[in-house]
Amino acid sequence: MHIKEVAKRLNTTARSIRFYEEKGLISPIKDAENDYRTFTDNDMMRLSTILALREIGISVENIREILEDPEMNIKQYLTIQRSALFEKWIEIKDMIETIDKMVDRTGNQENCIGDIQELSQHLKTMKNIRKSWKDKWNFDKQAADYDQNIKMHGYRFNVHQDYEQALEKVVTTISLAPGDMCLDIGIGTGNLGSRFLDSGVNVIGVDQSEEMLKQCKEKHPSIETRKGHFLTLPLMDIQVDGVVSSYALHHIPDTEKLLALQEMSRVVKDEGQICIVDLMFLDTNHQMQVLERFRSEGNLEAIDAIEDEYYADRSLLINWFNEHNFYVETHQFNDILSMIYATKR
C-alpha cells in the first residue's frame, strides 16, 4: 500500500507519516528508483499504534521506547500516561473552581482585588503541595522485602504491632458486596486490598511506588494497579464504593492529609465508605503523653521512628469528616494505631 492510501485509511496525513519515518519509528520499504514507499500490514499496525499513542499525549521519544524495548509493555506506558493526565485534570479542576470563586467575589464586591490575590495564592499553594512530596523512605527499594520486614519486631519499638488485626478489622467493618469497587490507597504489596478479592469485590490499588505495584500485581494478578498519589488519585469522581488505606497516610503531613481526605471523598460514591487504619495519636495531648512515656523509658528508637514519619492527629481527621457530612466511627488498637471508618451521609 502506498503512502496516500495509508494516510487515508488511518485518517492522518502523508506528512505525519513521513515525520514518524524520519524519527525512525517506522521504516516502510522504499523503491530505489522512484522513492515510493510501500507499507506492509505490519507497518500499518505499527503506524496505527503510534497514532493512537500520540492521540493520548505520549511523546515520540516514549513511543520509541515502547516499540523498541521488548521488555516494555504498552500497558505500563498507558498507566503512566493516565496518572499524568489525572494530575493535569485535577489541577485544571482546581483552576476552574478558583475562577468560579473569583467570578462570584467580583460580582458581590467593589474592592475584590485582595480576595482574588488570596484565591490565586491558594491555587499556587495547592499546586506546590501536590508537586513537592518526595518519597524519602524509598519504597521502591523496600518493595521486595516488605512482606518479610513487617513480620520483624524491631528493636524496642514495633511499628507493626497489631498489623494483622488492624487489616482484618477494616475488612469486617467496611461493607462491600460482590461486584463493588474498592480502592486501596498506598496498597504496597496488596496485603489489605487482596482480602476483599475472595468476596468478589473488585480492587483497584493505587501506590506512588512502581516496585510496590509490581510486587502487588505478582502476588494478586486480579488487583488492578495504578500509579498515583494520595493528593491526585488516578480515578474519576464518584467511581468507587469504598476506599481503604492501611499504614500509608502517615507518609504525608497533617495539612496534606486533609487534602487526601478530600480526594478520597471525591472518588467515593454517595453513601460510600472510607476506612483508614494508620499510625496516629488521638490528639496532641495524647501524642505528648506517649512521647513523654517513651522518653522517660529512654526509648529513643521509638521517638526516632515516630519523628521520622507524620503520625496523624486523629481528632483533626475526625473533624474533617464531620464537617464534610460523614458519619464517623473509630477504633483504637494500641497507643499508635487507630482506625477511622467514615460513611458519606
Ligand X SMILES: C[S@@+](CC[C@H](N)C(=O)[O-])C[C@H]1O[C@@H](n2cnc3c(N)ncnc32)[C@H](O)[C@@H]1O
Instruction: Identify which of residues 169 and 251 has a Cβ nearer to ligand X in the complex.
Output: 251
Provide the minimum distance between the beta carbon of 252 and ligand X in the complex, in angstroms, as a whole number. 5
| Residue 190-219 contact track with ligand X, rule CB under 6 A, x = bound | -xx--------------xxx--x-------
For residues 131-150, which are near ligand X according to CB under 6 A?
A: 133, 139
What residues contact residue 297 under an 8 Å CB cut-off, 6+ apart?
none
Contact status: 220 vs ligand X (CB under 6 A): no
Contact status: 263 vs ligand X (CB under 6 A): no
**Euclidean distance between CA atoms 39 and 47, whole angstroms:** 10
Provide the minimum distance between the beta carbon of 266 and ligand X in the complex, in angstroms, as a whole number. 15
Q: Which of 37, 229, 257, 314 binds ligand X (CB under 6 A)?
A: 229
Provide the minimum distance between the beta carbon of 15 and ligand X in the complex, in angstroms, as a whole number. 42
Provide the minimum distance between the beta carbon of 187 and ligand X in the complex, in angstroms, as a whole number. 6
CA 138 vs. chain centroid, Å, equals: 16
Q: Which of 188, 234, 242, 272 binds ligand X (CB under 6 A)?
A: 188
What residues contact residue 307 under an 8 Å CB cut-off, 6+ apart?
none
Contact status: 230 vs ligand X (CB under 6 A): yes
Instruction: Identify which of residues 43 and 207 has a Cβ nearer to ligand X in the complex.
Output: 207
- According to DSSP H, which parts of the chain are helical? 3-9, 14-22, 41-55, 60-68, 74-108, 113-132, 139-142, 146-149, 163-173, 210-219, 254-267, 284-296, 300-307, 314-323
Provide the minimum distance between the beta carbon of 188 and ligand X in the complex, in angstroms, as a whole number. 2
Phi, psi of 115 (to 5 degrees): -60, -45
**Four-residue CA torsion sign, 217, 276, 227, 136:** negative
Contact status: 338 vs ligand X (CB under 6 A): no
Provide the minimum distance between the beta carbon of 311 and ligand X in the complex, in angstroms, as a whole number. 13
**Euclidean distance between CA atoms 87 and 121, whole angstroms:** 19
Burial 162-183 (b: 16+ CB within 10 A, else e): bbeebbebbbeebebeeebbbb
User: How many chain residues bind ligand X (CB under 6 A)?
Assistant: 18
92: left (phi over 0), alpha (psi -120 to 50) or beta: alpha
Instruction: Identify which of residues 115 and 140 has a Cβ nearer to ligand X in the complex.
Output: 140
What residues contact residue 169 under an 8 Å CB cut-off, 6+ apart?
277, 331, 333, 339
Q: Which of 83, 246, 265, 287 binds ligand X (CB under 6 A)?
A: 246
For residues 72 and 66, is the Cβ–Cβ distance under 8 A? Answer: yes
Contact status: 251 vs ligand X (CB under 6 A): yes
Q: Which of 39, 86, 247, 281 binds ligand X (CB under 6 A)?
A: 247
| Residue 76-105 contact track with ligand X, rule CB under 6 A, x = bound | ------------------------------
Report helix, strand or coil for 248. coil
Binding site for ligand X (CB under 6 A): 133, 139, 186-188, 191-192, 207-209, 212, 229-230, 246-248, 251-252
